[in-house]
Structure 1
């Protein structure tokens, strides 16, 4: 239990702006790096996109509303794109599938770019 009188299941969010600033700084840093890809796999109650129930150690069930202002949340778009939505841990096989798909797509893009550079596709001048 949390709160002044230790009678609340959830503590009102206060530092969500700081968490968002840290995440944005990290994303900006990663976006400047065009060689290595970065994939975020976020988990936990801060990133819910659906309402879930959590059983506390004392046996009580607490409902976590995904749209509650009490939770320290990022925006819905971030939560939808980088999480599973239910706050659970990522399955390692699912993470591997996602990373493999991103790697294959990146290699295709890189290969296409290199091919265009080699054959001079972007440097070909049209003759009149």
Structure 2
């Protein structure tokens, strides 16, 4: 009662390796940034995954090369920003292209104006 719950990735106040790295880089390049929006964690994790796909593709930066590299991601970690990322070929069904196969629930702490995780990552079939 009188509670708000959401499903989301890592929150800015969390002490996970990916958040620590993100804050360090933002402090260096955006020292004027007053707060980290929670949606930035999702975008940052996407950037980490894209960089890994490009790295795995090597010199084959064609559509096929990038798709093959993305499909090689299995349980790829972003330092806790999002659940482990796995992609697969479309022959495995549309869910194989989703990447994130887990979620967690967070509860609003109104006094502190933050969301606090109340579950760990839980696998989904969505």
More helix by percentage: 1
TM-score (norm 2): 0.26
Between Structure 1 and Structure 2, whose CA radius of gyration is higher? Answer: 1
More strand by percentage: 2
TM-score (norm 1): 0.26
